[in-house]
Amino acid sequence: MRSWTSEGARATEERETFFRALAPRLSVQGAEVEELAELRDRSWRSAIFAVRYESRASGGLPAGIRPFVQLEAGSARVAPAEDRAISSWVHDYVIQESKAVAAGLADNRPAAVSCLRPEVTLLEKIEAIARRYARDPFEPASFVRHYEDVARILAGDATAPPAELRELLEDMKESRDIRAWPGHDDPCWSPQTDTDRWTRLEEAWVAAGPLFWGERIPLVNCAREIRRLLRILAR
């Protein structure tokens, strides 16, 4: 691929050719795969595919939840990564509730999938929040979930120590995966700075409730943890 970022006619045409060739090659057992043209990047820098399985349950889904598995294809950072085993709630539930039933199931769970380290997602989402917060028109529903995603990563036990995070941040800046790193005093972390935008953020946070399960982390708490991290990384 000549370029994933150029919007010139030749580069755009190359990306279009790539994605049009990719679409018919995506095969998922027991499902139909369809490219969502309405969600495609206008310059063909990425494409989104819907993987639709046959429905086995009746009733609608909560607002904001799409009735398919969404595949996003494009240029993205793939390192640092680690191999992780992948399971499912259904499989885990069956094993826990009935060993007899589980014995008759084919264990098709992948044992080693290369997964991007959470630190990369952490840094990418922090930058994305600041960038989208400052954008007009202001569309909080498109990024408000990133606050909670970052807070969940920080609350986990897999995050690298500050020294390694700083090293990764510098590497991502050099590779242009991070272009505009925010400070701890950015308005997107301070509810008192712009009450109108923060009111709309809070409304979007509430509306995104169906996308989450279990106890949620309040938006102001998420912002506080991100501010704390940014201060540490700035030392």
State yes or no: pLDDT of 83 exceeds 70: yes
pLDDT band of residue 71 (cuts 50, 70, 90) is very high
**77 Cβ contact list (under 8 Å, min separation 6):** 116, 120, 124, 172, 175, 177
Mean pLDDT of 95-118: 83
Mean pLDDT of 126-146: 96
CB 178 within 8 A of CB 122: no
Of 22-36, 81-95, 98-112, give the lowest mean pLDDT range. Answer: 98-112
State yes or no: pLDDT of 58 exceeds 80: no
Residue 58 to residue 94: CA distance in whole angstroms: 21
pLDDT, residue 1, reads 65
pLDDT, residue 95, reads 82
Cis peptide bond upstream of 110, omega within 30: no
Closest C-alpha to 77, from 127, 28, 139, 25: 127
Mean pLDDT of 49-54: 92
Residue-wise pLDDT tens digits, 1-33: 668 888 889 999 999 999 999 999 999 888 999
Residue 154 to residue 221: CA distance in whole angstroms: 12
Residue 216: strand, helix, or coil: coil
What percentage of the chain's residues is helix, strand, coil (to nearest 5)? 50, 10, 40
Average pLDDT, whole number, for the chain? 90
Handedness of CA 204, 208, 214, 217 (dihedral sign): negative
Full DSSP string of 86-148: ---HHHHHHHHH-HHHHHTS-----S-EEEE-HHHHHHHHHHHHHHHHT-SS--GGGTHHHHH
Classify residue 120 as exposed, middle or buried by CB count within 10 Å of its CB (0-12, 13-18, 19+). Answer: buried
